[in-house]
Amino acid sequence: MFHSLIYLASEVKLPPEHFKFLRELTPQFVNTRYPDAAYGLPKELYDEEIAQEYLKKTKEIFKWLKLQIDK
């Protein structure tokens, strides 16, 4: 359960517009942590464009989280 970004986002009441990205990102921990389960090394599955997009969207979520903490 605690590997679920959807669950964690629900707990902090993250705005709904971020959930599509989190549904996409949540299963990626399997691919990056267990390359044999993903049938490829992370460097073979992800390129710079994918990484930059994940980073951009993740930064947006962290920005929102920081604003909540600062309140």
State the alpha helices, DSSP H only, in 1-71.
5-11, 19-25, 28-33, 35-38, 42-45, 48-70
Q: What is the pLDDT of residue 57?
A: 97
pTM score of the predicted model: 0.81
pLDDT > 90? residue 65: yes
Give pLDDT, residue 37.
Answer: 79
Statement: residue 1 has pLDDT above 60: no
The residue among 55, 66, 60 whose CA lies nearest residue 28 is 55
Q: Which residue has the higher pLDDT, 9 or 27?
A: 9
Q: What is the pLDDT of residues 10-63, one digit of tens each?
A: 999 999 999 999 999 988 887 888 878 778 788 888 999 999 999 999 999 999
